[in-house]
A and B are shown apart, each in its own frame.
Chain A
């Protein structure tokens, strides 16, 4: 876990950030620094404190202790400064249904004190960007979920934010919708250098766009790093190997357990599952052949982010 001291260059920071509701700790001493231009995946199951943390960064919820900083502005003390540079797409975002998409964005622009002409241009550009240019004057009441989600992205673009918080932006979208939203987020970060925080409990969707991910569990960040780093951290704990063997017996299992570097052996039906160091795989094969058993297949399970998440999360659960 990294604990970076701010020298004013961090886009988003949490310092000992804590939020307690009566008798319940939603966020527990969170330490986090996100660099400018970074796309950060904020993972964790529902109720793990992601939304609460985002709300504290936006100055919408007051921390019990610690600080939430956005470009050096304390979100609790200077919420207006933070809201000027931060865009926020809440989970299941809503719009004024009786107004057209354009009117909704004009309202946002006015709340941000953007001059009328400049706002109209920005809205035109943003609507085109998210692919809603043709339905700009339709009432939002007729929009599908995917369209609303994209409209929400256009909505935050109007104010030209420096940081963007998206809370579960892919929730309830079909695969195509998810892809479009993720692509937009990626472009936002690449083309405009916007710092992005995406909270999600669907890892594979976030995996493609995030440079780093942090996994929250019960208000604590239990893992932080790039997807590869997290994988390696787990890799040192041993690799899981599935071996399909015809006609295995207890003697073979005993042999396998004796192989150097093997940590654990388990068997069920035709499969033997071995947890071992990566370099021991050839020795495993040799042990099986020595017993004259038929080795049908052998494959090591590479850890997907899903598994990383599950392992860290279940680890968090045990504590």
Chain B
């Protein structure tokens, strides 16, 4: 599997499509942080003094200048999709699959190697972006992050990588099922649309079905809670909730949380949380993200292992 892993990793890092995408993500990401730093500096008198570094990731200025977290949540999946959509379908359309599988490698080494190489690439990319942001943050804010902040950032890094790796899994799944890379790309983008947008409607329908009458406050709360929980089936909202919890331990944004589609039950307590307490809160989200990735990849794996190879 080593040979496949390294070949795929080299391919990923060297491919034009990836370099373009990486430049886009890195530049935009850095830009969001720059805007955030400007906002924080402009408002330095009113701002809380705790965990300022984390606010680099969460401070946005309206729809056109989203925060880094929002940016990763919305556009990050494309890194995963771009890496995975032609994993298997590309081998088929280039007609290299038969030749590859005729070499003395186990068939699962092919799909595992591609998946791990993709995950490693994602990790590398995010580590790089985070280091750039760290350096920028120090310069723009004028002081280095404390231990607590570094720890929160590290967990955020892990959550981001897991999140994008889920999308890598989705893309590989599509690439196993569809012969043509174009179709595979379209289908994976379709899944992204579903989990980002349509899940809202689905969750609302489920909530409407469960709580038909929302005349009392209690029923409204139940309705909201059901909707919120249904949306957690989408990794997009899992990621959003986990990162908001992680990056706003001071809970300065309780107000916005209450207004968010996740509803008032989003677990925010109005005082700064320790890393330990935060981990307790985001642990289920992490497990769910990993679980969804495992399920997605397992389906792809089984399908690929059972496939009849017709060169």
Contacts and interface: CB of A to CB of B under 8 A. Distances in A.
Interface stretch (A10-18, A83-91, A203-211): A83-91
A289 interface: no
A2 B310 CA distance: 29
Contact of A110 (B7, B11, B102): B7
B99 A94 contact: yes
Interface in B260-287: none
A98 B10 CA distance: 12
B4 interface: yes
B99 to A, nearest CB: 6
Counting chain B residues whose Cβ lies within 8 A of the other chain, the interface size class is 20 to 34
A28 interface: no
B2 to A, nearest CB: 8
Nearest to A94: B95
B21 interface: no
A55 interface: yes
A51 B6 CA distance: 31
B309 A55 contact: yes
Most buried by A among B15, B98, B102: B102
B98 A111 contact: no
Interface string B92-108: 00111011111111100
Nearest to B106: A80
B94 A58 contact: no
A94 to B, nearest CB: 3
Contacts of B100: 111
B214 interface: no
A159 B308 CA distance: 25
A94 B96 contact: yes
A144 B215 CA distance: 73
Nearest to A60: B309
B94 A95 contact: yes
A277 interface: no
Contacts of A107: 3, 7
Contacts of B104: 80-81, 83-84, 111-113
A89 B103 CA distance: 11
B311 interface: yes
B94 A90 contact: no
Nearest to B1: A111
Contacts of B11: 96, 98
A93 B308 contact: no
A83 B106 CA distance: 10
A141 B297 CA distance: 31
Interface in A106-129: 107-108, 110-113
A95 B311 contact: no
By DSSP majority rule, is chain B's interface helix, strand, loop, or mixed?
loop
Contacts of B101: 60
Contacts of B96: 94-96
A101 to B, nearest CB: 14
Interface in A146-188: 152, 155, 159, 167
Interface string B62-80: 0000000000000000000
Contact of A90 (B6, B99, B105, B106): B99
A92 interface: yes
B111 to A, nearest CB: 15
Contacts of B308: 61
A97 interface: yes
A229 B94 CA distance: 41
Given A61-B308, A111-B3, A112-B104, A88 B98 contact: yes
Interface string A49-85: 0010001001011000000000000000000110110
Nearest to B90: A96
Nearest to B16: A98
Contacts of A88: 98-99, 102
A123 to B, nearest CB: 15
Interface in B186-240: none
A112 B3 CA distance: 9
B311 A83 contact: no
A110 B99 contact: no
A55 B106 contact: no
Nearest to A86: B102
Contact of B95 (A87, A92, A98, A159): A92
B95 A111 contact: no
B103 A91 contact: no
B102 A93 contact: no
Nearest to B102: A88
B224 to A, nearest CB: 50
Nearest to A52: B310
11 contacts: A51-B311, A80-B105, A89-B99, A92-B95, A94-B95, A94-B99, A95-B99, A97-B94, A98-B15, A107-B3, A108-B103
10 A-B pairs with least C-beta separation: A94-B95, A88-B102, A110-B3, A90-B311, A111-B103, A90-B98, A83-B104, A84-B104, A60-B309, A94-B94
Interface of A: 51, 55, 58, 60-61, 80-81, 83-84, 86-98, 107-108, 110-113, 152, 155, 159, 167
Given A51-B310, A60-B101, A152-B99, 17 more contacts: A58-B102, A80-B104, A83-B102, A86-B102, A89-B99, A90-B95, A90-B98, A90-B311, A93-B95, A93-B99, A94-B95, A94-B99, A96-B96, A107-B3, A110-B3, A111-B103, A167-B311
